Structure 1
Amino acid sequence: MAFSVCVYCSASTTDPALLELAAEVGAEIGRRGWTLVSGGGRVSMMGALASSARANGGYTIGVIPRHLMTAEVPDHDAGELLVTNNMGERKALMTKYADAFLALPGGIGTLEELFETWTGGYLGEHSKPVVVLDHDGFYDGLFTWLDELYERGFVTTRARDRISVARDVATALDALTPIRAI
């Protein structure tokens, strides 16, 4: 299988700028010949990401829990659409299929996935790159808080170094690429 990147993002926003960002990320994933692993929805940023990846030559794997089949509208155009029994199974499959992880703007679901992936890497469960695309300062507040946690001794240097932050699509995707995929 081609290099694969799991992208976490919103399945609810209607913000045109964020939908455009998701489409730009998807297009670049497709142009690079990568496989996109996503949450399996066809709406919002998730849908824009997957359809753009396919339109630009990328293969897509969607992973969606059965209980979200209505709320997130399944992406039946995905190369593979995997339906799980719950969110835990979803995240496990996404991790299994991904060579790297990218977080775009999103809500609590995106944050939960990001933190679990980041923590898993820190704890040695995987050595895959974890990157946050901090588009227009979306995550500035989060990283200000994490810097405070670092200063207070709750986040170690090793943990903080386990995640990369990028301000633009090209830098974010370049940060995902391990040496073996170049």
Structure 2
Amino acid sequence: MKAICVYCGASPGHSPRYADAARGLAATMVNNGIELVYGGGNVGLMGVIADEVMRLGGRATGVIPRALMDKEVGHAGLTRLHVVKDMHERKAMMADLADGFIAMPGGIGTLEELFEIFTWAQLGFHAKPIGLLNAAGFYDALLAFLKHVVDEGFLKEKQATLLLSDASPDALVSRMHAFRGGDGGLLPPEEAAKII
């Protein structure tokens, strides 16, 4: 993996453990020569991970819609900052630039980005690894809910395994390196066509 797209909050959250996790992920990525691709802001966890990647000598590419330049305060100190038309263009560009995806703690925007890229994997539109950095157990309830979705027959178990989870940035990135998309849970083309 040369680049990982990280979805995370424009807020730091209440616990300092979330910012610690962002700095830990930044160090793991830089130590492994992996570029950061993210939403381009300099506030909240977005700013924490971008600042740490740059401080450690790594590369960071931001993608931000023009309308959010002020609200999310576009980061001026990145390797590259792409200012795009809208959220659709933002998410598409981030996906194109990345070899994998990690969701850190965040709000509904982070969840929306995560579930879109997870859905694309389920449908077979990409075979890139997707991870949850489960800092301080932030995603425990979500993982339990996804198990419930499987138990109730709305998600196949092998599709659920497309979403990797770990509290350790090093362990998560290592699992992502070992991930083989192929047919490891992806719908056959004829099933994907039925859903679309």
How big is the shift at 1:30? Answer: 1.4
Amino acid at match of 2:132: V
Q: Is the 8 A contact 1:7 1:103 kept in 2?
A: yes
Larger Rg: 2
Q: Distance in 2 between matches of 1:107 and 1:14?
A: 9
State the SS of the aligned residue for 2:146.
Answer: helix
Q: Deviations over 1:142-176 (max 9, x none)?
A: 11111111111001123202111112111111122
Give TM-score, length-normalised by structure 2.
Answer: 0.87
Matches within 5 A, 1:85-164: 85-164=85-164
State the SS of the aligned residue for 1:164.
Answer: strand
The match for 1:75 is 75
Gaps of 5+ in 2: 181-196
The match for 1:169 is 169
Of stretches 124-133 and 28-37 in structure 1, the one that deviates more from structure 2 is 28-37
How big is the shift at 1:85? Answer: 1.0
Give TM-score, length-normalised by structure 1.
Answer: 0.93
How big is the shift at 1:75? Answer: 0.9
Q: Taking structure 1 as reference, are residues 132 and 179 closer, same or farther at Cα in structure 2, changes over 3 Å only?
A: closer
Q: Distance in 2 between matches of 1:72 and 1:176?
A: 29
Q: Distance in 1 between matches of 2:164 and 2:179?
A: 16
The match for 1:35 is 35
How big is the shift at 1:179? Answer: 7.5
Q: Alignment RMSD, CA only?
A: 1.6
How big is the shift at 1:111? Answer: 0.4
Amino acid at match of 1:37: V
Q: Distance in 2 between matches of 1:98 and 1:67?
A: 23
The match for 1:45 is 45
Pairs aligned (count) = 179
The match for 1:11 is 10
Q: Distance in 2 between matches of 1:14 and 1:109?
A: 14
Gaps of 5+ in 1: none
Amino acid at match of 1:45: L
Percent identity over paired residues: 39
State the SS of the aligned residue for 1:177.
Answer: helix
Q: Is the 8 A contact 1:5 1:100 kept in 2?
A: yes
Amino acid at match of 1:122: Q
TM superposition outliers: structure 1 runs of 4+ over 3 Å:
none
Amino acid at match of 2:111: L
How big is the shift at 1:132? Answer: 0.5
Q: Distance in 2 between matches of 1:95 and 1:52?
A: 22
Q: Deviations over 1:117-157 (max 9, x none)?
A: 11111111111000101112111111111111111100112
Q: Is the 8 A contact 1:50 1:60 kept in 2?
A: yes
How big is the shift at 1:178? Answer: 5.0
